[in-house]
Amino acid sequence: MFWSIRRPVALIALITAFANATGPLYGLPVLNGPVIGTTQVPGAKSGPGDFIHPGLWHTHDDLERMRLGVSNQTEPYYTAFQAFSNDSYSQSSYQIQGPYSVLCRGQCSNYTSFSNDVRAAYQNAIMWYITRDDDHWNRSTTILDAWGTSLSDIHGTDTSLLVGLEGDLFANAGEIMRWEGNWTESTAAAGGSAGFSNQLYWLFARQSIIVGQANYGMISIKALLSFAVYLDDISMWNYAINLYQNDLCAGLYGNLQPGSGQSSETGRDQGHAQGGLGWAAEASRVMQSQGFDAYSLGNNLLLAGGEYAAQYNLGNDVPYDPKFYRCEAILVNGPWSEPSPISRGVTTTTPYVYDILYYQYVVKRGLSAPYITQMKQQLDNLTGGEGHTHITNSLDDHPGWGDLIWSYPSSGQYANNNNQTIWGAAKKVKSRTGLSL
Ligand SMILES: *[C@@H]1O[C@H](CO)[C@@H](O)[C@H](O)[C@H]1NC(C)=O
Ligand SMILES: *[C@@H]1O[C@H](CO)[C@@H](O)[C@H](O)[C@H]1NC(C)=O
Ligand SMILES: *[C@@H]1O[C@H](CO)[C@@H](O)[C@H](O)[C@H]1NC(C)=O
Ligand SMILES: *[C@@H]1O[C@H](CO)[C@@H](O)[C@H](O)[C@H]1NC(C)=O
Ligand SMILES: *[C@@H]1O[C@H](CO)[C@@H](O)[C@H](O)[C@H]1NC(C)=O
Ligand SMILES: *[C@@H]1O[C@H](CO)[C@@H](O)[C@H](O)[C@H]1NC(C)=O
Ligand SMILES: *[C@@H]1O[C@H](CO)[C@@H](O)[C@H](O)[C@H]1NC(C)=O
């Protein structure tokens, strides 16, 4: 598949060599470690009550903004919702394709049933929140429970990508249904031996702890941030938020050159270079939900990264530093002497990464980003908007539908009301009364 890389046997030896390094997650291997276990890093948490729920990509206030934008018929929400609600993955009649107990990603890839079902679980969760239609509640939660009680193992060299991409989207669906929909995992019991949370902890999170390089590593970091919130796991959160800020191979500064915004994958191909921007933006979104402003780190480095990639993909020249490249570039034929023209341009397979940057920096913060803005307009002209044309070979790399899920009506602070959590009154009783649109 598109994102796969060949991992040589030497890497296995490297993992073993580091297995004795004691990270903050006692005894588990830390590839880029040892990482200092710290509560001193900005954004660190000190108790499970510090977590905000729902608090992965969408807080309660974020979800309310979507719902009210649609019911008020405010743009871009209203038009985006017309297309979103018409999408095949948003239907409560969606036919579940799994579950299976074992999947594989790598040379043996056989996970499309999971990709499709995860997307349907997420889109039905958003549909339920906006419409309050029970049938969407049912569709999302039956998919969560079906896979949550069945999937027990994942094989292949790219297991980290499957759990970091599909697994993260699935966790986002679960977080909404649990905290807003009062969904209880079907096998959750005092024994605690089965169910979606167990899968998240034992299969997804543990796999993600071994962090690779550049965009690949960023996928694990952003997924760990989500998994940590879902599980209220303080050490996992502090581990991941430290990596985001201090892992010089996979964190923000391993992916983007301070100042220029050049990606460490710019010389590899534009799919990976742009994809990495989206994963860092999604990681930052989870940190924002938890009250930490990661978007402004490095003097808005992620904004500079978006401008750099958009400038190049719009057909312009960019300054290029061949000495800024990904760790272990040798794995993927690097380092590289110039920006790669592979998958360059404004196309129907351009990763869905520009809406999240556009709404966060240009609309919400009122900052100037002429290339990102132009990129978004050209992509919207070409595809109708993120998500409207499914990128079939990388369906769950990014959620898409940015005009609905990432948008803000205008600039402002949009602080979360943290009272609307378990300590507050966010839980909604499902009902068939719904919302008239
Ligand atoms: C929707 O309408 C409500 C009530 O008039 C208003 O408070 C809210 O700001 C509006 N929100 C959006 C996103 O249009
Ligand atoms: C809804 O989907 C159908 C086909 O699936 C398409 O013909 C129609 O244009 C779509 N409508 C909107 C509003 O996107
Ligand atoms: C996927 O491949 C693995 C490894 O070959 C196998 O064990 C598993 O049963 C397969 N799963 C599906 C859904 O085909
Ligand atoms: C939920 O969906 C399942 C599977 O389609 C169905 O068997 C069940 O009756 C539905 N439950 C409700 C309350 O609609
Ligand atoms: C998008 O399409 C509209 C209508 O065809 C056109 O006026 C506009 O210049 C296009 N914008 C971009 C950025 O291509
Ligand atoms: C949250 O709750 C606290 C204590 O009840 C209250 O003082 C505060 O004003 C509330 N914040 C908001 C935004 O409602
Ligand atoms: C949530 O669900 C549980 C059972 O699953 C039920 O006992 C409880 O009353 C529900 N709470 C709300 C607010 O719907």
Residue 67 neighbours by CB distance under 10 Å? 18
Please report the atom of ligand 6 found closest to the CA of residue 419. Answer: 1
Number of compact structural domains in the chain: 1
Nearest CA to ligand 5 atom 4: 381
* 213 domain-assigned: no
Q: Is the CB of 104 under 6 A from ligand 3?
A: yes
pLDDT, residue 270, reads 98
Please report the atom of ligand 5 found closest to the CA of residue 374. Answer: 13
* 192 domain-assigned: no
Residue 342: which domain range? 234-416
Q: Is the CB of 431 under 6 A from ligand 7?
A: no
Residues 58 and 107: beta-carbon distance below 8 Å: no
Q: How far apart are CA 210 and CA 219, in angstroms?
A: 11
Instruction: Give the tens place of pLDDT for each residue, 419-432.
Output: 666 554 444 444 44
* 184 domain-assigned: no
Instruction: Give the tens place of pLDDT for each residue, 249-304.
Output: 999 999 999 999 999 999 999 999 999 999 999 999 999 999 999 999 999 999 99
Which of 313, 354, 377, 383 for mutating ligand 5's site (highest number of atoms within 8 Å of CB)? 377
Question: Percent of the chain having pLDDT more than 90?
Answer: 76
Q: Average pLDDT in the 155-167 region?
A: 96
Residues 325 and 337: beta-carbon distance below 8 Å: no
Q: Average pLDDT in the 195-215 region?
A: 92
Kindly report the pTM of this predicted structure: 0.89
Nearest CA to ligand 4 atom 9: 138
CA of 373 to the centre of ligand 3 (A): 43
Which of 62, 72, 404, 405 for mutating ligand 1's site (highest number of atoms within 8 Å of CB)? 72
* 405 domain-assigned: yes
Residue 416 confidence class, pLDDT cut points 50, 70, 90? confident
Question: How long is the chain?
Answer: 437
Residue 373's closest CA among 312, 291, 325, 310?
Answer: 310
* 52 domain-assigned: no
Q: Average pLDDT in the 298-323 region?
A: 98
In angstroms, what CA-CA distances link 209 with 29, 182, 361?
8, 29, 30
* 400 domain-assigned: yes
Q: Is the CB of 155 under 6 A from ligand 3?
A: yes
* 105 domain-assigned: no
Which of 134, 145, 182, 184 for mutating ligand 7's site (highest number of atoms within 8 Å of CB)? 182
* 176 domain-assigned: no
